[in-house]
Structure formats: C-alpha cells, structure tokens
C-alpha cells in the first residue's frame, strides 16, 4: 500500500511538472544584447512589433545642410543629416514594417589647423550651430530635437564629441562662446 501511495505521489509530481505555467513568462536579460537593440512593448496601435534602433540617411536634407554650410563659409566641412529612430520588425514576418523617426541628428567633419586652439574650435562649433538653426526640429523628421556629432580633423588626428541640440541652444542663450561653449557641450581636449 505504501508503494502504491508513493507511486501515486510520484506520478502527480511528474504530471505537475508538465502543466503550463500560470505565471508571467520570464523576462529577457538585456545585459548580453548588442548595443543598439531596444526591446519594448509595442505602443497602442503599433501592432506586434519588435523595436530595433536604426538610423536612416536623409539625402535631400544633407544636400540642403551642405549648401547652408557653404553659404556660411564652412565649405571645407562636411555635414550630413540622419534620421534616428526605431524599425518595427513584424512579429509575423520578421521583416521591417516601418521606421518610426524619433529625431534628426547632424554629423559634421570639420577640418582644423590646431586641435589645441579651443577658442577657434568653439567659434567653428558656433558656425555649425548657426547653420543647424536653419533646420529647426519642427521642420525636420521626428518630434524630438536631435544630437550633433562633431569630428575635428587635422592631418592624421581626429577628435570627436557629441551633444544634444537643446544643450547647445541653452549654452548659446547663456551667451557662451569659444572655449566656454566647448566646455559646456562636454568637449574634452
């Protein structure tokens, strides 16, 4: 009789291991995912999407940006506009359904003579910001102000930094220029 009870308990225990779990599914540990991958719950009405960060070039806006740079006597510099956002990857097909633009980012490569002349570098950044003013967030793709990526280039050396466009606007309103502007934007010489 004891063997029958033990067998019955063992059978119930094994059967319980095969029942579907009634708790929520485990969450994915994102620590090991490559950077640039975003796992979010789809927004209401967004469909069944897996969201992945992406950037898309904005060729027409880049041409306008380059033209504005030439008009501002920054003709040796190269500027590009890039839409930053997320691809909606369809759960059903695994294909990109659409690209949701969050902001327009600006990238510049600026030739300079001296990477240590912070006042001259700051004046160059001021010139770039005056060009970007011609492309306000309300007139560019995405609802948010974007980032600015600047790379100073001299000979074989490069020095780059990134800042948010709204930080730059605040620094300019505060009257910062030259080396003070660079410092406020996080440039580390």
pLDDT tens sequence for the chain (189 residues) = 555 444 444 444 444 443 333 333 233 233 333 333 333 333 444 568 999 999 999 999 999 999 999 999 998 999 999 999 999 999 889 999 999 999 999 999 999 999 999 999 999 999 999 999 999 988 999 999 999 999 999 988 999 999 999 999 999 999 999 999 999 999 988
- The H or E element that residue 65 is part of is helix 59-71
pLDDT at residue number 75: 81
Q: Which residues, in sequence order, are CB contacts of 98 under 8 Å at separation 6+?
A: 87, 88
Give the chain's count of helices (H) and strands (E). Answer: 5, 5
Residue 48: what pLDDT? Answer: 86
Q: Cα–Cα distance between 151 and 112 in angstroms, integer? A: 10
Enclosing domain of residue 129: 57-82+103-184
Domain assignment of residue 44, yes or no: no
Structural domain contains residue 146: yes
What does residue 37 show for φ and ψ, rounded to 5 degrees?
Answer: -100, 130
Asked if residue 136 is part of any domain, the answer here is: yes
Per-residue model confidence (pLDDT) at position 2 = 52
pLDDT score of 92:
87
H or E element: which one contains 86?
strand 78-90
Residue 151 lies in a domain: yes
**Residue 6: exposure state from Cβ atoms within 10 A (0-12, 13-18, ≥19):** exposed
Residue 148 falls within a domain, yes or no?
A: yes
Q: Does 6 reside within a domain?
A: no
What pLDDT score was predicted for residue 3? Answer: 52
Rounded to whole angstroms, what are the CA distances from 109 to 8, 58, 85, 143? 75, 17, 22, 25
122: in domain: yes
How many domains does the chain divide into?
1
Q: Beta-strand (E) ranges in 131-188?
A: 147-154, 157-164
């Amino acid at each position: 009789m004891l063997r029958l009870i033990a067998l019955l308990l063992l059978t119930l225990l094994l059967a319980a291991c095969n029942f579907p779990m009634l708790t929520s599914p485990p969450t994915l540990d994102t620590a090991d995912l490559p950077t640039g991958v975003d796992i979010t719950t789809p927004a209401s009405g967004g469909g069944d999407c897996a969201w992945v960060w992406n950037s898309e070039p904005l060729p027409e806006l880049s041409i306008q940006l380059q033209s504005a740079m030439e008009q501002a006597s920054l003709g040796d510099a190269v500027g590009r506009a890039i839409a930053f956002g997320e691809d909606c990857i369809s759960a059903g097909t695994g294909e990109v359904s659409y690209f949701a633009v969050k902001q327009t980012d600006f990238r510049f490569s600026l030739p300079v003579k001296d990477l240590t002349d912070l006042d001259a570098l700051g004046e160059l950044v001021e010139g770039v910001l005056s060009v970007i003013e011609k492309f306000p967030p309300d007139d560019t793709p995405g609802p948010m102000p974007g980032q600015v990526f600047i790379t100073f280039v001299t000979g074989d050396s490069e020095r780059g930094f990134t800042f948010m466009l709204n930080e730059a606007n605040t620094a300019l309103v505060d009257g910062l220029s030259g080396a003070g502007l660079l410092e406020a934007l996080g440039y580390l010489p």
